[in-house]
A and B are shown apart, each in its own frame.
Chain A
Amino acid sequence: MTRRTSLDNPDVNLLQRIWRSVFPSPVRPHTEMGRKRFLRGNLILHFRPPTVKEKTLIFTLSWGLGGIAATLVLLQMATGILLKFIYVPTPIDAYSSVQSIMVQVPFGRLVRNLHHWCANLLVVVLMLHMLRVFFTGAFHHPRQFNWIIGLVLFATVLAANLSGYLLPYDQLAYWAVTVFTAMMGYIPGIGRWLQQALGNGSELGPRTLPFFYSMHTAVIPLLLAGLMGFHFWRIRKAGGLVVPRKPAEPIDEMSPRVPVVPNLLIREVSTALAVTATVLILSIFFDAALSAPANPGLSPNPVRAPWYFAGLQELLLHLHPVVAVCVIPLAAGIFLVSIPYFAYPQSSEGIWFASSRGRTQSINAAVTSMVITPALILVDALVVKTAPWAVDLSPVVRDGLLPLLLISALTTGGIFALRKRWGARLNETTQSLFVAMVTALVVLTLVGIFFRGPSMRLIWPF
């Protein structure tokens, strides 16, 4: 007796046979076995594990942030490819092509707005994702390297934003990128070479726009796709997300599991749909800005960096460029990269804010940073910039060495106080330092956005 499968069943018509050759298992499986077959038989879904730990599905663990980021990246690719059909990457035609996207191309305004809002939201969402990963201790073994991949992803998204920012070739774009390439010039050693490669040394050259365009629409999307695959594979290798627990509880290795289809899938799809709906609404009501065409002879007043670089811009107002461009970002980068590799006395994975002591210390660190950062800004703006003793000092000392010494002294003092006075362990010290750093960045960004007026003078916005 030969076994008849549905595939060679002569009773099934041609269309049905074709359908089944593409989707071998039923599309709406009703049994547990059927669901597993469906999962394995589907190219996209078979990258997922068959089951996940039930506790990791709780919304307040991940806040859906990683999934939101992935959705936004996909939307960027979809809208970006559409824009690429109309956009012309030459200094002469770029501006008018973007203008025609906005006023002539059907749905052009919507597509450009979507690309604009997704780009900005992506930065916010990634910062929040990073905070949640940090505060749930999800950087401990075995997720150490995934934290690093995440950092590279974040840098890549910032690079995408920066390179995209130039493309409309309006005044905002032109001057933000002029400032950026000039910043590159201060990197010791390779700076001048980089600046030459990006522009023609003193101004944006004829090769700058094609360079940024190729980066933005080819190199960066490929990098992002590869890195995201790597990121997701690592999550799976680590056995899924961290399992949330109370400070006293041990790590639960045998947490009960539930099938991915439908439990995880339905959450992911609904998050993706909600995100898409939100950015659609934003894009219908709020237009992406397009200022006057680029004019190398006239810097608008004030020149503002995009909001995610406003903190860096604020640093540039106070410090010697080498310190603001190299020393501080490098120190912050080294700190972020080494976070998973300190010799912690114990893993705090799954515990929000490491411990209850960690929570109070984090709040203290945030408050301290919230007081010290504006104080330093005011001291520099009101005293150091005008005081007679400071005018004669060499800029390297006044804007470089002295502030660096001050910042190092404050950081060392803070660490010392935490360890000796409040008995913090390494987990909590690192956390407080991270919190102080993030708070300082937030304060600098807010000052840069709201408290700077014409000629970048400090103003009171209310």
Chain B
Amino acid sequence: MNGAEAIVQILLNEDVDLIFGYPGGAIMPVYDALYDQQEHIQHVLARHEQGAIHAAQGYAKASGKPGVCLATSGPGATNLITGIADAQIDSAPLVCITGQVGSTLLGSDAFQETDIISISMPVTKWNYQVTDAREIPSALAKAFYIAKSGRPGPVLIDITKDAQFQELDFEYEHCESLRSYTPEISPNPEAIEEAAILINEAQRPFILFGQGVILANAEAEFKTLIEKTGIPAAWTLLGLSALETDHPLNVGMLGMHGNYGPNLLTNECDVLIAIGMRFDDRVTGNLDNYATQAKVIHLDIDPSEINKNVKAHIPILGDVKVTLPLLLDKVKLNNHLEWLQRFHDCARIEQEKVIAAELYPSGDVLSMGEVVRIVNEYTNGDAIIVTDVGQHQMIACRYSKFSQSKSNITSGGLGTMGFGLPAAIGAKLGAPERTVIAIVGDGGLQMTIQELATIYQTKAKVKILLLNNEFLGMVRQWQQLFFDKRYSSTEMINPDFQTIAKGYQIPAKKVTRRADLEKAIIDFLDYDGAYFLEVMVGKENNVFPMVPSGAGIAEIRLE
């Protein structure tokens, strides 16, 4: 067996049945080996390596399994970088395999040689270059183990072309531990004891939950904890869908475009319990006046997150799947009805000042919020919503309803425009039984619009919902609010998206009037296959509430 065949064999050993990629010279032996395994491994040919890697990310998020992505050396490998950086900051398990020029050519500026190991170093959890086929099994075994374990992340294995051709005696063993890497941390019982005391004595405790809950598959443990303690809980963008939207203790979204109550009351709680979240600056605003009054309990699997941005009075290191039940044992049955009422009061204010007009606008102009509202009515919160980046992302996350976990897929930490469409393809392939809706803006869509061809080729039944405001909306909003309405390079003269969709043989519809909206959404969801629905929305609508950048969260603006 040669190195390339070994790679394919390892994919089978790791239960990989679907991969994403794009071929080229330095990875051709692997593609050749894949040819013999088409029945067992489906290869999704994207139309750009960035599309392939975002699809792998979407697949990983929807399925909980690592996404695997193949690319050739040089430009193939560098085209992966945005997605790798996105996966690193959003903790998505990915195994990227890149071809590399022959080992004797390394360092000679050979055709399509780039030092992808150095380039990817700051944005990978781990990476490694293989120059000898005999290293392939151990390197890939480590790659899968590292990508999946602890706080997940992307790894990259760069394999020289000669190593792909080289013969080896194949033997494969899964990697289950590494002496220099401790992904599982045993919980500290004292910290749990102290945290429980703090929680039991708290008058106004508040829970912030992030993606850690989802990555740990600890949604049930989490819910039991909040229900036992009666503590209101708010989510980060990536924590969304870990707790169903309609849960009485779900008080909404944190951060820059989050809900009014969760932001305002972060600065009034007495105990702040952060679960699997990392106090991103989009969540905290100015740290100097962030929750300074509160005692902070921080549960996280990654020791480097503790005290990184917000000082934890009680850090609880470990997998929340393990630590939450320990905490649950020690906390009292309780409720905080008056405190919860404060959130409801804020929600009422926000409803009157922001939400009502967004979901039920009075004028003729369609709003993004009303589109999302009608989608909710017909999906009952069962769809996977994948978004791109911008105003539509914030509206989709604020207003979509979710009844099950792993249902919101978005580029949080990196805010990568172009993420939505390919990630939705991956999500659909990773969760084929679920409805997958890509909600995208006209700007971001055009960054990876070529992936419509991937939909056409794979027949992935992705629903594409374009909220078209003919602007780079989010940037325009900032220009309006903070740069005197000087709309510098944010207005877009767009192509006819209907024609484009048709070119890719995807049924398409455009809605400009409210009267046609509901019917169009019903058709969109009912159609058995990919569908492209474009809704023309208010060109200069804004997303509120908003915490201006640099301000404290309590300075949240409702208009």
Q: Do A and B bind each other?
A: no
Residues of A within 8 A of B (CB): none
